Amino acid sequence: MAESEKPAKKPAPPKGGRKGGTTFPRVSLKQALEYADKLVGKTHTAPQPAKTILPGVFGNAGPEGGVRASALKQYGLLEGSKSAYQATELARGINAAPAEDQVPMLQQAFLNPRLFKDIFDTFRGNSVTKAKIRQRALALKVHPDSADDCVDLFTESAVAAKLGTLDGDAIALVAASTVAAGDSAEGEEVTVEPEGLDSAASDAAADSKGAAPAAQIRTVGQNKSGLTVNLNVDSSSDPDKLEKQLKLLREYGVI
């Protein structure tokens, strides 16, 4: 075969591009937040097309820029199509909030990618080695060639979201109870009976002429505890019994 007749080589895929398997963000949350800050500024007045956003925000107008844009979408920081990209409400909230108020939103962004959430839910509250995280990633169908990158991005992003602390080759992940709610609708009310109240304590607040007052938990997701508690009290409520309920609520950290 003549030299001119040799088949052309296929172009190499962009660094961080997909090799198949389960999708995950190909940039760390820390890097994604830097891009998101630029995106907020670029789309402050109106969405912008990819030809503006890719070079202006991600520094690359080609496939690599697309990989970075995809990562921001997975974190919930970018929305829209190539004809009209814009920063999400989450990205704008992080950009506007002081550092001490950003943590719940950073945790929400970290847990938005399905793979990262699955890995975190598996090991939360424990100290786990990178080898164990890699094993879990492979079980979740991450391509073997991408597994090490996945582990590094997961651990770096968990630290950035204040959900983990590195300790050598391991990461200590926080327990679920310390993670702020991310997708709960603001203002939604759920009536619950606090865990640990036995039947005697639950019935203690009930009156023969009416139903027992319930603890109503309003999810807000942005305040320090993530919860606001309202107790319904009427003229039929027994003060002694109500005091017992309040004591139990405090003991179990509901209030």
Same domain, yes or no: 110 and 227: no
Determine the Cα–Cα distance for residues 55 and 76; give it in Å rounded to an integer. Answer: 20
Instruction: Please state the domain count of the chain.
Output: 2
pTM: 0.65
pLDDT at 12: 53
H-run or E-run covering 172: strand 170-173
Same domain, yes or no: 146 and 92: yes
Same domain, yes or no: 241 and 173: no
- Asked whether residue 111 is domain-assigned, the answer is yes
Domain's final residue, options 117, 144, 178: 178
| Burial class of residue 79 in the structure, from the number of CB atoms within 10 Å of its CB (0-12 exposed, 13-18 middle, 19+ buried) | middle
- Asked whether residue 193 is domain-assigned, the answer is yes
Please say whether the beta carbons of 164 and 35 come within 8 A.
Answer: no
Determine the Cα–Cα distance for residues 111 and 221; give it in Å rounded to an integer. Answer: 14
Tell me the pLDDT tens digit for each residue of 114-154. 999 999 999 999 999 999 999 999 999 999 999 999 999 99
Same domain, yes or no: 193 and 174: no
Same domain, yes or no: 215 and 170: no
Tell me the pLDDT tens digit for each residue of 16-57. 445 679 999 999 999 999 999 999 999 999 999 999 999 999
Same domain, yes or no: 163 and 86: yes
Domain span including residue 226:
189-251
Average pLDDT over residues 175-204: 43
Domain's final residue, options 178, 205, 232: 178
Same domain, yes or no: 70 and 137: yes
Same domain, yes or no: 133 and 35: yes
Domain's final residue, options 122, 156, 178: 178
Same domain, yes or no: 45 and 103: yes
Please say whether the beta carbons of 165 and 159 come within 8 A.
Answer: yes
Same domain, yes or no: 50 and 163: yes
Tell me the pLDDT tens digit for each residue of 201-245. 334 333 333 433 333 333 333 444 444 445 555 555 666 666 666
Average pLDDT over residues 191-199: 34
